[in-house]
């Protein structure tokens, strides 16, 4: 009990010191390490065959709040490589050394960059359960701290839309949600958007009437093709709409499901995610730090389930905690757009106080373009 109280006191002291000047001091780093705020974080947590990512050991400096519970400073992770260098220059002993990086499952390879940083390369073929697990041991430099083993789960890309959420302080650890993009054909009246007529019933319809119905279908298809609106994309569970008047793009995902475990991709679920960013649907990197940028993710449509979000309009506490990261469009192929999202997210674990825990979301997506052309 005494050691537990001491750890809590160290964390509280660290937050107060951090609030004095709005940045982490060397003492903050040392205390945070002793307070158990260490984790493995990957630059990209969803990888395709042979793709690489860096994996860092990070120490998390918690946010500071005033007496009213409002944020004074932003909590943020610091790479242990940087922290170790800073502490060495200050003559402060570091609490842990990293040893024995391992690939526990899934294959691939590791290249050690330094004690606290590695580069991981995904295998050429998907592992049996589409997951790769990396581990590292943290050996304490003193006798008053326990040995720690950190784990990081990475996912092999095997679908259209895959998102991995990580907010350790809220108990969200590499939670993966996915879905397959619906709407694969171009006709507005094909069976993917309207129910097909049973052939047995269709055969009973007089030939002249069938010809009239087909003519009407052709007329609707032609009208849709001549317009900017892609009806099939608008009804898809994953699409993007660009507003040229405000230079804002909105991407929505509906029906995201939580993966059931290794080797068991999710069925359709009730999860949703809305991404808004300043800019159009163009290839390249879109910095995710504009005023209009936001993410809202809910694992379920029930109001009692806590969401992850950033820059959520209407929430004064959360608006101070801005998004940071990038949305990258890698390919535009006909009606489809593929890319990645990497951003900071925030989660209010209790749902009723002003404390938000910082985390990350990384995802790959394949969405439909809801409008064929744009006329600003």
pLDDT digits (tens, 9 = 90+) for 146-172: 888 999 989 898 778 889 888 877 778
The secondary element (H helix, E strand) that includes residue 59 is: strand 52-61
User: Which structure tokens are listed for 233?
Assistant: 């994309």
pLDDT digits (tens, 9 = 90+) for 65-74: 667 666 666 6
Percent of the chain at pLDDT > 70 equals: 67
Which residues are within 8 A (CB) of 28 and not within 5 positions of it... i.e. 6 or more apart?
14, 17, 18, 61
pLDDT of residue 300: 66
Work out whether the CA dihedral 159, 160, 165, 171 comes out positive or negative: negative
What are the counts of helices (DSSP H) followed by strands (DSSP E) for the chain? 7, 22
pLDDT of residue 239: 87
Match domain 1-158 to its CATH number in 3.40.640.10, 3.90.45.10, 2.60.40.10, 2.130.10.10: 2.60.40.10
Cβ atoms 113, 54 nearer than 8 A: yes
pLDDT of 193 over the 50 cut: no
Mean pLDDT for the chain overall: 75
Poorest-pLDDT segment among 16-20, 261-265, 336-340: 16-20
Which range is most confident: 63-72, 111-120, 249-258? Answer: 111-120
Q: Is 60 helix (H, G, I), strand (E, B) or coil?
A: strand
pLDDT of residue 69: 64
The secondary element (H helix, E strand) that includes residue 299 is: none
Q: Which residues pair with 55 in a beta bridge?
A: 42, 118
pTM above 0.75, yes or no: no
Q: Is 83 helix (H, G, I), strand (E, B) or coil?
A: helix
The stretch 122-138 carries a mean pLDDT of 91
In the chain, where the domains are located: 1-158, 159-182+236-376
Do the bridges between strand 148-156 and strand 46-47 make them parallel or antiparallel, or are there none, so unpaired? parallel
pLDDT of 123 over the 80 cut: yes
Residue 220 DSSP code: H
Q: Specify the residue for token string 């001549």.
A: 226
Do the bridges between strand 336-347 and strand 357-369 make them parallel or antiparallel, or are there none, so unpaired? antiparallel
Cβ atoms 134, 102 nearer than 8 A: yes
């Amino acid at each position: 009990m005494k050691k537990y109280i001491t750890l809590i006191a160290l964390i509280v002291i660290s937050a107060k010191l951090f609030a004095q000047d709005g940045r982490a001091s060397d003492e903050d780093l040392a205390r945070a390490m002793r307070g158990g705020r260490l984790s493995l974080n990957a630059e990209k947590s969803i990888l395709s065959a042979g793709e690489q990512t860096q994996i860092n050991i990070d120490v998390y400096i918690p946010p500071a709040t005033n007496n009213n519970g409002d944020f004074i400073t932003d909590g943020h992770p610091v790479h242990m490589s940087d922290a170790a260098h800073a502490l060495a220059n200050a003559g402060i002993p570091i609490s842990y050394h990293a040893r024995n990086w391992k690939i526990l499952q899934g294959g691939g390879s590791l290249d050690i960059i330094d004690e606290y940083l590695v580069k991981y390369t995904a295998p050429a073929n998907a592992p049996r359960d589409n997951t790769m697990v990396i581990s590292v041991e943290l050996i304490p430099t003193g006798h008053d701290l326990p040995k720690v083993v950190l784990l990081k789960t990475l996912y092999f890309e095997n679908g259209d839309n895959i998102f991995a959420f990580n907010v350790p302080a809220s108990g969200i650890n590499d939670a993966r949600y996915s879905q397959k993009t619906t709407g694969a054909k171009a006709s507005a009246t094909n069976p993917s958007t309207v129910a097909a007529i049973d052939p047995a019933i269709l055969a009973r319809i007089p030939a002249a009437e069938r010809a009239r119905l087909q003519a009407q279908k052709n007329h609707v298809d032609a009208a849709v093709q001549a317009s900017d609106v892609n009806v099939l994309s608008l009804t898809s569970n994953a699409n993007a709409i660009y507003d040229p008047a405000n230079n804002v793009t909105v991407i929505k995902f509906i029906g995201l499901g939580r993966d059931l475990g290794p080797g068991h991709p999710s069925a359709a679920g009730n999860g949703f995610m809305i991404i808004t960013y300043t800019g159009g649907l163009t290839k390249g990197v879109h910095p995710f730090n504009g005023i209009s940028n936001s993410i809202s993710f809910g694992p379920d449509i029930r109001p009692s389930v806590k969401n992850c979000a950033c820059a959520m309009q209407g929430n004064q506490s959360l608006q101070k905690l801005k998004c940071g990261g990038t949305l990258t469009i890698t390919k535009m192929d006909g009606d489809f757009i593929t890319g990645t999202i990497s951003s900071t997210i925030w989660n209010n674990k209790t749902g009723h106080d002003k404390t938000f825990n910082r985390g990350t979301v990384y995802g790959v997506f394949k969405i439909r373009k809801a409008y064929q052309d744009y006329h600003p």
